[in-house]
Structure 1
């Protein structure tokens, strides 16, 4: 029986939602199409009505995950009343984020795997990540645009690296120490801004990425 366009769109969204979570939890190669579709409550045969291949799904799921990550963090930072860099360090480097890879930062969960994926996957992730670096460049301190961008990239790399290490080690105390050390390092290098004065909202361009 043919499904309506509305239902088909709902099914596609469900597959993408499940894929973004399971890829981050188990890894891209840690789950196949059949199990993924089963987790979405759909039949294996219906997969190719929505995606050309698993690589197509990986590209779209990873791009979607990075976009949602970016939008969520920007929302958190836009709502903070204090220094946004401090807020990012405190929230990103929390035990809750470390322990919930399926709902956390895609780069921290899948960065090393994405590096081994196709050009299409890497391109869509790149284009979705760039606006977040642009956003960070606008909230960090620096006397020039190039210095602020350098600091933004350093900030994000420090955050991602801390989560990767904290998840990798089997020593809980060392894991917590890593999160606290990097958070303290970020806070010590960030000059707090005045809490009031009408913080300017930063417009972020949403990239238009062609489907692979």
Structure 2
């Protein structure tokens, strides 16, 4: 088997980062390198040609998740057209949806990486700038200052609790209670990707 071109090596690296970003949000950063590389369709040995360590990959995966979130944001168009309140409501309703609860691999990196970064102080220190900036940006999109932070805390907390209780009716109740508290009304369940 011959050597891969630089372009192919870069494409492989991007595939590993994207796969890691999804798998880490869904299963946590304890996912093995072997399982990750298999999911990316590459060999285990290829990992160390691309990354110095798994910790380096976690850092890149977190950055990728936040960049992907920004690129796919449902709020982006509405914010550009001056419809901030409509955009805020859409963000809250989509974030606190059954779809988002059930698809953590494609969901928000704030909730997706919080538990792992809380358990792994060394990784948290490495990833802190990217993660903290992501948290601040998400809160600022909701409201200014402490109000945005409080709204984000409510959203992330409700989502984490809903995921932990998924098999019980309380899961849906948690999502609905947070949506109502933040928007003042109940709304239909969105069935789309959340960002």
What range is the shorter-chain TM-score in?
A: 0.7 to 0.9
Cα pair 1:94 1:179 within 8 Å, conserved: yes
Higher CA-based Rg: 1
* 1:35 match: 35
Equivalent residue for 1:120?
Answer: 126
* C-alpha contact 1:70 1:132 (8 A) present in aligned 2: no
Q: CA deviation at 1:178?
A: 0.7
- Please give the alpha-carbon distance, in whole angstroms, between the structure 2 residues aligned to 1:160 and 1:170: 15
1:155 to partner: Cα distance: 1.0
1-structure distance, mates of 2:100, 2:80: 19
C-alpha separation between the residues in 2 aligned to 1:163 and 1:5? Answer: 41
Normalised by the size of structure 1, how large is the TM-score?
A: 0.76
Q: What is the alpha-carbon distance in structure 1 between the residues aligned to residue 157 and residue 78 of structure 2?
A: 20
Q: Which residue of 1 aligns with 2:100?
A: 97
Shift of 1:131: 2.8
Partner of 1:66: 66
> Structure 1 residues 93 and 79, CA, compared in 2 at 3 Å: closer, same or farther?
farther
1:132 maps to 2:138? yes
Give the 3-state SS of the residue equivalent to 2:72 in structure 1: helix
Pair 1:161-2:157 in alignment: yes
Q: Shift of residue 115 of structure 1?
A: 2.1
Deviation per CA, 1:5-61, whole angstroms, max 9, x where unpaired?
1111100010011101111111111x1111111111111111112111000001110
Q: Give 5+ residue unaligned stretches, structure 2.
A: 186-195
1:9 is the counterpart of 2:10? yes
Taking the aligned partners of 1:169 and 1:112, their CA distance within structure 2 comes to 16
Matches within 5 A, 1:43-62: 43-62=43-62
CA distance in 2, matches of 1:159, 1:17: 25
Distance in 1 (alpha carbons) for counterparts of 2:167 and 2:46: 43
Task: Give the number of aligned pairs.
Answer: 178
Greater per-residue helix proportion: 2
Query: 8 Å contact 2:138–2:152 — kept in the other structure?
Result: no
Q: How far does residue 170 in structure 1 lie from its aligned partner after superposition?
A: 4.7
**1:184 pairs with 2:180:** yes
Say if 2:111 is the partner of 1:108: yes
Distance 1:108 1:128, change over 3 A: closer
TM-score by length of 2: 0.82
Two-structure CA RMSD over aligned residues (Å)? 2.1
Tell me the alpha carbon deviations over residues 129-173 of structure 1, each in whole angstroms, 9 at most, x when there is no partner: 33333333xxx3xxxxxxx21111111111111100101015432
